[in-house]
Amino acid sequence: MVKGMDIHLHCREAGTGRPLILLHGNGEDGSYFIHQIRYFSKYYRVIAVDSRGHGGSPRGQMPLTLSRMAEDLKEFMDERQIGSGDILGFSDGANIAMLFALKYPERIGKLILNGGNLSPAGVKPSVQIPTEIGFWIASHAARRSYEAGRKAEILGLMVKEPKIPPERLKGLTMKTLVIAGTKDMIKTAHTRQIFESLPDAKLRFIPGSHFVAKENPVAFNKAVAAFLMDDRHPF
């Protein structure tokens, strides 16, 4: 175990070649990316990581925050002796990827941000308001129920985080794909703000909801593959 790391992150791995690290969203695990693992493992060493407190990864004793999860990713890469790789993050995974990129830009080749947000205000009210109500209820029940406490902690990641000023993204020079569903729960204007804040980015909207990688994997994978291979590789 790498010094400073209190847990081992669980992951799913397939394929060989350049690492392509997949980061799932809130309350999920790496199995969300089943279509991407199958597709991209033909060309990459695909590693779908379960974030701290999600899937097969233990909660540990450290704070459950997106910043801590970004540090976990760095320590996971150190442990696996992965100097750098391409990263695809979905939802909270995209937010973790942005935080990781801001602190460790040299560890990323290309960056794919799917359905990320810079702050809770980037989420449409139809999703954010019920999330905040669920967080409030779970927080009050946490004193009597361990499960309620766990739910409050997970929902808290969406209610309290992230807090990324858009101007900070201007310092990221890696090639980035910002990709979202046409009916995403992230506000379209917010997705465009992320794109416009990045110096070397492309923007794609794929027919579907926030979960477009799972709902419309053919179109999603084609867009990601074209970006990763600079439109030159006949995936």
Integer Cα distance of 30 and 35 in angstroms: 11
User: Where does the pLDDT of residue 118 fall: very low under 50, low under 70, confident under 90, or very high at 90 and above?
Assistant: very high
Residues 219 and 174 in one domain: yes
Task: Tell whether the model's pLDDT for residue 97 goes beyond 60.
Answer: yes
Do residue 25 and residue 81 come from a single domain? yes
Res 3: pLDDT: 60
| Alpha carbon 139 to its chain's center | 25
Give me the number of domains the chain comprises.
2
- DSSP class of residue 186 equals B
How far is the C-alpha of 28 from the C-alpha of 53, rounded, in Å? 10
Whether 99 and 139 map to the same domain: the answer is: no
Quick one: which of 11, 53, 5 has its CA closest to 30? 11
| pTM across the whole model | 0.95
Q: What is the mean pLDDT of the chain?
A: 95
| pLDDT category of residue 37 using cuts at 50, 70 and 90 | very high
Looking at residue 4, its pLDDT comes to 61
Residues 87 and 97 in one domain: yes
The boundaries of the domain holding residue 144 are 121-161
Residue 21 falls inside a structural domain: yes
- One domain, residues 93 and 131: no
Domain boundary among 132, 161, 190: 161
Check: CB of residue 86 under 8 Å from CB of residue 228: yes
Contact of 38 with 65, CB cutoff 8 Å: no
Q: Are 199 and 193 in contact (CB under 8 A)?
A: no
Residue type, 86: D
Report residue 234's pLDDT band, with 50, 70 and 90 as the boundaries.
very low
Give, as one character, the DSSP assignment of residue 142.
T
Are residues 150 and 193 located together in one domain of the fold? no
Show Cβ contacts of residue 229 under 8 Å, excluding neighbours closer than 6 positions: 235
Beta carbons of 164 and 93 less than 8 angstroms apart: no
The CA distance from 198 to 194, in Å, is: 7
Share of the chain above pLDDT 90, in %: 92
Q: What is the pLDDT of residue 6?
A: 87
* pLDDT tens sequence across 179-206: 999 999 999 999 999 999 999 999 999 9
Domain CATH for 220: 3.40.50.1820
Distance CA(92)–CA(210), nearest Å, equals 12
Shared-domain flag, residues 113 and 126: no
Measuring CA to CA, which residue among 42, 10, 215 is closest to residue 114?
215
Residue 2: per-residue pLDDT: 56
pLDDT digits (tens, 9 = 90+) for 139-148: 999 989 989 9
143 & 179 share domain: no
Whether the Cβ atoms of residue 32 and residue 54 lie closer than 8 Å to each other: no
Q: Are residues 126 and 154 in the same domain?
A: yes
Residue 200 shares a structural domain with residue 88? yes
- Could you tell me if 56 and 130 lie in one domain? no
Residue 177 domain-assigned (yes or no): yes
